[in-house]
Chains A and B, each alone.
Chain A
């Protein structure tokens, strides 16, 4: 198609991007990497009161192969970081990551030799949430920010 040779801001390309990004943003299936107490708030985020499925996160897929978003909820120890990184590697593209809570963002209250001071030392994090634990509303806010980020993704035809 002549479309692919003129990969500028053509009308069809941007429309295709808009459609694809909209579809991806409204069906972000999280993979909960619930390591500690923040996992409880993540369960609340998926529960009926702070319903995540009204934003498209219909199911929490516990398999990395079936999910788009990894929510790291809780502190990562050095020993666990290898497993987390392996699970992250096993997620297919496109994928995003949310560091939920103080411990996943910066190590939180665990200023210790056994706890990784922030999971961004080994994962590419897209959104950080502060709080100990953050309210489920904060996690919803982060999900919305991830959706906004997805809607601004670059041309899907270049992403091969």
Chain B
């Protein structure tokens, strides 16, 4: 279960450019590597990967609620390098009271809707996002559904059903 050569080269490069910010490296499924970085350098790390290592393909941005008391949320970027055929997950941990990250829409256009989904489901604000609004839930929904404290069946009354008396109601 060792980290393969192309991945190791990239990690060495990141550790050299951002000393003490690459916090954890884990190999995953024999094919990829999950790198946890400090939240301050996320955008810079991703920009380095984009420019120097040809990670021009963003597959997904997703979030997780770890449900721990500190560093509760994490945001994970799943990117792929077409030139070197290397896949990497870059993740970062966020505290519950500081759910802000810089947007990566300047690097990948695909991040636009991905980050909207993370905002909708977890409440992570992405600064600089051109159109940060809810993706799946209606605009006036008040909760963040994929957080662990949100019940699976939802909160009664949080989302409207249509009126069943068309004669009397206005809407």
Residues of A within 8 A of B (CB): 78-79, 81-82, 84-86, 89, 111-114, 116-117, 121-123
Contact = CB atoms under 8 A, between A and B. Distances in A.
B154 A112 contact: yes
B162 A85 contact: yes
Nearest to A82: B162
Interface residues of B, number: 18
21 contacts: A78-B138, A82-B162, A84-B162, A85-B162, A85-B163, A85-B164, A111-B153, A112-B152, A113-B145, A113-B150, A113-B153, A113-B154, A113-B155, A113-B158, A113-B159, A114-B136, A114-B145, A116-B161, A117-B153, A122-B162, A123-B164
B104 to A, nearest CB: 27
Contacts of A84: 162
A86 B162 contact: yes
A122 B166 CA distance: 11
Contacts of B68: none
Nearest to B162: A85
A81 B153 contact: no
